[in-house]
């Protein structure tokens, strides 16, 4: 069984640009979660998508947004990048009715 | 909102020493509890989870954790650590309500095991 995949592995952007990160969940999983792992701030919940809808978001500004496609893959968009957005962005997926999430390898975003 | 505290940020042990990592959460309702591990250069993996039933749960690689509801704790233990246990360990909680399965993580504990 293929795990959660994320692309790209690394992404380097300059301040003010936009970044797009992609995630493919495990086959059969309908929920996708995004987390930010920033140095010194730990892992923080960003967004939850299920069945194509945004179900909940963490305490992040609106320039963090995303979407989920009909095949349940997901994109995370970060607009107007700031230096403090530099972090590892993790995607996780879960199947309906279960509490367990499976994590991808992450995309390391560096903003210069 | 719930929060999770991991008391030890860095732990250094010698091989064969016993390990206990503390985790406390703040939420008065019903929760699911998890320990994840992140080995150097690898992605987060589930060590063990507690949903209900026996409060002593056993996970992979000889790890176990005990849920003590009265103390809001879910401490991770291993009787004898190995060098390969060097990693960062995260305790996490999700709340059993309609808000979904978002995980709230503790700050993590970096474990270094000296050979």
Tokens of A85: 């957005």
DSSP output for B9-53: SEEEEETT--EEE--EEE-SS-EEEEEEEE-TTS--EEEEEE-SS
CB contact, 8 Å: B101 with chain A?
A: yes
A20, A87 contact by CB (below 8 A): no
CB contact, 8 Å: A30 with chain B?
A: no
Task: Report pLDDT digits (tens) over A64-88.
Answer: 999 999 999 999 999 999 999 999 9
A65, A73 contact by CB (below 8 A): no
Beta bridge partners of A77: A20, A65
Q: How many CA atoms lie within 13 A of B40 on its CB side?
A: 8
pLDDT of res. B101: 76
A43 CB neighbours in chain B (<8 A) are 90, 92, 103, 105, 108
Q: Which of B32, B36, B107 sits opposite A99 (nearest CB)?
A: B32
Residue B100 has pLDDT above 70, yes or no: no
Task: Report pLDDT digits (tens) over B20-45.
Answer: 999 999 987 888 999 999 999 888 99
Q: Please give the domain boundaries of chain A with CATH numbers for all domains.
A: 5-111 (2.60.40.10)
A23, A6 contact by CB (below 8 A): yes
End-to-end CA distance of chain B: 41
Residue A42 has pLDDT above 90, yes or no: no
B49 CB neighbours in chain A (<8 A) are 99-100
Chain A residue whose CA is closest to B93: A99
CATH of the domain at B84: 2.60.40.10
SS3 category, B62: helix
Residue B69 lies in domain: 3-114
Average pLDDT, chain B: 92
CA distances from B24 to A105, B80, B92, B112 (A): 27, 23, 10, 22
CB pairs under 8 A between A and B: 56
Query: Tokens 């140095």 appear where?
Result: A39
SS3 category, A51: coil
Q: How many domains does chain B have?
A: 1
CB contact, 8 Å: B51 with chain A?
A: yes
Residue B96, min C-alpha distance to chain A (Å): 9
């Amino acid at each position: 069984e293929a795990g959660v995949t994320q692309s790209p592995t690394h992404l380097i952007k300059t301040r003010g640009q936009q970044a797009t990160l992609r995630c493919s969940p495990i086959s059969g999983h309908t929920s996708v979660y995004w987390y930010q792992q920033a140095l010194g701030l730990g892992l923080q919940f960003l967004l939850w998508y299920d069945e194509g809808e945004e179900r909940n978001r963490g305490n992040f500004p609106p320039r963090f947004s995303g979407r989920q496609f009909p095949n349940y893959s997901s994109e995370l968009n970060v607009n107007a990048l700031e230096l403090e957005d530099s972090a590892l962005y993790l995607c996780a997926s879960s199947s309906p009715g279960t509490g367990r999430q499976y994590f991808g390898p992450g995309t390391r975003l560096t903003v210069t | 909102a719930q929060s999770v505290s991991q008391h030890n940020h860095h732990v250094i042990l010698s091989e064969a020493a016993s390990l206990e990592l503390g985790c406390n959460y703040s939420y008065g309702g019903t929760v699911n509890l998890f320990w994840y591990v992140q080995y150097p250069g690898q992605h987060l993996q589930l060590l063990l989870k507690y949903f209900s039933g026996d409060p002593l749960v056993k996970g992979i690689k000889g790890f176990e954790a005990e849920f003590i509801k009265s103390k809001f704790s879910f401490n991770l233990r291993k009787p004898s650590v190995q060098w390969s246990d060097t990693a960062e360990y995260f305790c996490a909680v999700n709340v059993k309500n309609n808000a979904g399965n978002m995980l709230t993580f503790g700050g993590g504990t970096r474990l270094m095991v000296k050979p």
